A and B are shown apart, each in its own frame.
Chain A
Amino acid sequence: MQNQEEHTALKNTVQSLLDEAKRQGASAAEAGLSQENGLTVSARLGDVETIEHHCGQGLGITVYFDQRKGSASTTDLSPESIKETVSAACSIARYTSEDAFAGLPEKDLLATEFPNLDLNHPWAISVEEAIALAVECEDAARNYHAEISNSEGASVNTHQGIHVMGNSLGFLHSYSSTRHSLSCSVLAQRGDSMQRDYWYSVSRNAAKLDAATDIGKKAAERALRRLEGRSLTTRQCPVLYSAEIASGLLSSFIGAISGGNLYRKSSFLLDALDTQVFPEFVHLYEQPHLKGALGSAAFDGEGVATKGRDIVTDGILRSYVLSTYSARKLGLHSTGNAGGVRNLTIDTGALDFQGMLKQLDTGLLVTELMGQGVNILTGDYSRGAAGFWVENGQIQYPVEEITIAGNLKDMLKNIVAIGNDVDYRGNVRTGSILVERMSIAGE
């Protein structure tokens, strides 16, 4: 009940922002508000290290004076601040240019159905319980092996928020969501070789987090297996992206078919609609209404209804990823992707991780990437990497201080297989991905 009252009060705040914009002469406006509370507790070397209480809020408004636009935001939700924020946005709109493509979404694209997406599971965990859980997680890592030599600690994080979105077309909706995580990072040492790695679990529902001891053990295993890594000689070979980093490849692809990069002609996939961009077996789609998932939402950042849809079928690009503005620039309609894709999913093949190693046969398993060396305009790709050298489907030794390079256009087309070892922790759901050939630079 109290929650209901909070929602009503925050919706009233957003409505008052929209009303104030109208009063100040705006022809249209949209506004959003978020209020979040949370707790982060970390433990290191068996004892609590930090206790952080989070309590944040913010609102933002965009106003339109016909085709001119201005935006403003504030962390102060008082009535005076609302007036000032709206007038700041209106004042900016006096100086921006007429932009034929600017404006609110078409009314018939706005969400009208709001299914319960099962996103709100507050975690009634006390500070003491959170400390105990973090200590349990870190203990499991530190006690895993004698070579676990040090720790960056384990941490428990819980966040709960209310989000409101409204516009002058009459859209006004709020929802609550939660996000909880448990993570652990430890160091392993053997002689001069020191390595660090981590593992985490994240969920809307704390009951679905992995067991603290499992997370700790996994962090320890990952740090240990990196010990005494060596470089490779420069060569070309097949590369297997482990599931937890394979999502990055798909995210780069999404970047290249996103409206902003397309209308700026800043993508290696210009005019690629209805052409082959992946091998024929690739099916890539969005599932925005998946219950309890991290990327789920009934509407996008502009209030446009999200819907489950195919992006790639039979390896052919079927749809771009568009907001209202970028869609209009391209002469298309919004795909409900203001703010990005939601629960992007790729159909997997029949092979598990071991099966994928066998298919790799001899090549590089990459488990970590470093740096930002991805050029979405040209597709040129060059990143620091660490992982394992694999021969005859068997891991031989850890590898570090190498780079992997290629061009994304070729890399996507040369995907050989997608494993069924799916990592469900993020907004992109994929198993490990095997790329036929890349350039490795090393010693």
Chain B
Amino acid sequence: MELLNLARQAILIPAGIQDGDIEKIMSRLLSSPVDAADIYFQSSHSESWVMEGGIIKEGSYSIEQGAGVRAVSGEKTGFAYSDRIELPVLLEAANNVKAIVRQGQDVQVGLVNAGNKSQYYPVANPLKSLLEQQKIDLLRKVDSETRKLDARIEEVIISLSGVHETILVANQDGSLAADIRPLVRMNVTVIVVENGRREQASMGGGGRSDYHYFLNENLALNYGKEAVRQALVNLEADEAPAGNMTVVLGPGWPGILLHEAIGHGLEGDFNRKGTSAFSGRVGERVASDLCTVVDDGTLQGRRGSLSIDDEGTPTENTVLIENGILKGYMQDKLNARLMGVRSTGNGRRESYASLPMPRMTNTYMLPGSHHPEDIIKSVKKGLYAKNFAGGQVDITSGKFVFSASEAYLIENGKITRAIKGATLIGNGPDVLTKVSMVGNDLELDSGVGSCGKDGQSVPVGVGQPTLKIDGLTVGGTSV
């Protein structure tokens, strides 16, 4: 209940909106025979600070607030939003969206508080968790400590950002749910130069927490150290090989493999429409029996975690693949209803100005039994990819890419030379069938992921143990 009252104070009260007004808007929406309707209020305060060239170069503060009104009938959706949270504007929006169905009737709605089952992050305002001067001091300390690490460092760019977001969602059954979502992120980019050759690398992290997160265990300073380490490795890197070969992926962020290769293809909308390479394949083998993959929105404080999704549904730990067998899809309310299943709490939207869709939260593979060193030892010739930049997938053909930013050759069971970054390409429905070893070293990423779909960006997490894949195409230049 406390969250709901906080959300009312943050969004509704300043706008002069009472619960009775929400009932009026909802009654207006339901005066057409719709299957579902919701009103989504959001208020988001964010800031970012950038240090570059040894000075605090930029700072910005942003307030975004508004409401989105949606009515759904069958497969049809009507949607309108406004930055103005005002009763006449929202009633007009309701009139526009309910035109998705034509006939009318009179309905009265009474609101009930949904209440949150569990909360996976503190009700914190990260922006106020440090004084401005403390934020500046943190940036300066990371800058000066990082610059001391190596004489070859030419430039250090550090960014620090925080978001304090409050959402409140009213559903057609009158339930009212709220969430307060902190999110912080820090990033260190380093440019190094040696004998005229320049390379760069970035490292960062964050989560649903406040800025104190970065002070724990010298986390912020370690981002700098790690960025410098990777940049120096890249100074030594040779041309990457081209062709199909055995690939060992390191633990943690390389789990972007799972996000691209299978995650998107298992989102409910594509499968309801039959446009995914995984459509209609529940119960079939899509991975080797070493692979169990979950999407888990309930991890404490992770970047991809949510206590409730943007439709008010509590998030879950959803098993996608169990011992190689496809178990199910990630669902929002619309697609769950049309497929005759229940929502898995994956209905997410970038903001009030966008429609919700099935989206991932934290997607990762459970650990196996192999020691990571034994996995490397088992490879005669191949690639060890430790860090990645980004990825993309065509969910219909199943083809996916992800780009390595730190990689090494494996020769006769040993990691030998560093090689330049390269894009890896594979086929989602069969890449996991080629997983022949799974490490016992599950790691989640450091909290840097953002996922784009239909132009909407949302924060996500990935993770995996060390994995060996018997054959993936590596896009280097050395033929």
The chain A residues found within 8 Å of chain B, CB to CB, are: 44, 47-58, 69-76, 81, 84-85, 88-89, 91-99, 127, 150, 152, 187, 194-196, 226, 229, 231, 234-236, 264-266, 370-373, 375, 377-378, 380, 382-384, 386, 400-407, 439-443
Contact = CB atoms under 8 A, between A and B. Distances in A.
B80 A74 contact: no
B20 interface: no
A441 B100 contact: no
A234 B191 contact: no
B26 interface: no
Nearest to B478: A439
A372 B403 contact: yes
Contacts of A54: 81, 353
Interface stretch (B29-37, B50-58, B110-118, B216-224): B50-58
A377 B421 CA distance: 13
Interface in B50-69: 52, 55-66
Given A53-B80, A71-B61, A441-B242, A194 B277 contact: yes
Contacts of B399: 370, 384, 386, 400-401
Given A72-B62, A92-B61, A152-B275, A439 B394 contact: no
B77 A49 contact: yes
Contacts of A384: 392, 399-401, 423, 425, 475
Contact of B59 (A71, A266, A404): A71
A71 B60 CA distance: 4
| CB-based closest 7 A-B pairs | A403-B475, A384-B401, A97-B55, A196-B396, A371-B401, A92-B59, A441-B242
B355 interface: yes
Nearest to B389: A372
Contacts of A94: 132
Contacts of A441: 242-244, 425, 473-476, 479
A236 B402 CA distance: 22
A264 B77 contact: no
A95 B56 contact: yes
A401 B275 contact: no
B88 interface: no
A47 B476 CA distance: 46
Interface stretch (B91-99, B285-293, B315-323): B91-99
- Which of A56, A236, A370 neighbours the largest number of chain B CB atoms within 10 Å of its CB? A370
Among A89, A187, A375, A404, which residue has the most Cβ atoms of chain B within 10 A?
A375
Contacts of B79: 50-53
Contact of B479 (A226, A236, A266): A236
B146 to A, nearest CB: 16
A50 B77 contact: yes
B133 interface: yes
Contacts of A401: 399, 425-427, 473
14 contacts: A50-B77, A50-B79, A72-B61, A75-B64, A76-B83, A85-B61, A97-B57, A99-B57, A150-B274, A229-B397, A371-B391, A371-B423, A382-B422, A384-B392
B80 to A, nearest CB: 4
Contacts of B426: 401
A159 to B, nearest CB: 13
Given A53-B79, A57-B83, A384-B475, A264 B157 contact: yes
Given A402-B425, A403-B424, 18 more contacts: A44-B75, A52-B355, A71-B61, A76-B63, A92-B61, A92-B132, A96-B59, A150-B273, A229-B397, A264-B52, A371-B403, A375-B421, A378-B198, A382-B423, A383-B401, A401-B399, A441-B243, A443-B473
B13 to A, nearest CB: 15
Given A266-B191, A402-B425, A370 B392 contact: yes
Interface string B382-423: 000000011111101101111100000000000000001111
Interface in B424-451: 424-427
A405 B96 contact: no
B81 A95 contact: no
Nearest to B403: A373
B76 interface: yes
B324 to A, nearest CB: 20
B230 to A, nearest CB: 13
Contacts of A439: 242, 475-479
A405 B397 contact: no
Per DSSP, are chain A's interface residues mostly helix, strand or loop, or mixed? strand
Contacts, number: 249
A264 B191 contact: yes
A150 B396 CA distance: 11
A111 B135 CA distance: 38
Contact of A405 (B93, B198, B400, B477): B477
A370 B425 contact: yes
Interface residues of B, number: 78
Given A264-B191, A378-B199, A383-B475, A48 B76 contact: yes
A405 B63 CA distance: 42
A264 B413 CA distance: 39
Contact of A97 (B56, B62, B193, B242): B56
B56 A405 contact: no
Given A231-B473, A234-B479, A127 B59 contact: no
B132 A405 contact: no
A382 B57 contact: no
A164 B75 CA distance: 39
A403 B76 contact: no
A264 B274 CA distance: 47
Contacts of A93: 59
A265 B243 contact: no
B427 to A, nearest CB: 6
A62 B191 CA distance: 28
A406 B66 CA distance: 46
Contacts of A72: 60-63
Given A234-B243, A372-B389, A403-B475, A92 B60 contact: yes
B97 A51 contact: yes
A70 B65 contact: no
B425 A403 contact: yes
A63 to B, nearest CB: 11
A403 to B, nearest CB: 3
B392 A371 contact: yes
Interface string B290-329: 0000000000000000000000000000000000000000
A86 to B, nearest CB: 11
Contact of A91 (B56, B132, B427, B476): B132
B136 interface: yes
Given A69-B58, A196-B396, A443-B244, A382 B275 contact: no
B61 A195 contact: no
Contacts of A195: 396-397
A375 B392 CA distance: 17
B63 A81 contact: yes
B62 to A, nearest CB: 5
Contact of A196 (B64, B80, B397): B397
B200 interface: yes
Nearest to B244: A443
B44 to A, nearest CB: 9
A267 to B, nearest CB: 9
B4 interface: no
A127 B420 CA distance: 52
Nearest to A236: B479
Contacts of A373: 389, 401, 403, 421-423, 475
Nearest to B476: A405
B359 to A, nearest CB: 17
A229 B399 CA distance: 11
Contacts of A236: 479
Interface string B440-476: 0000000000000000000000000000000001111
B175 interface: no
Contacts of A74: 62-64
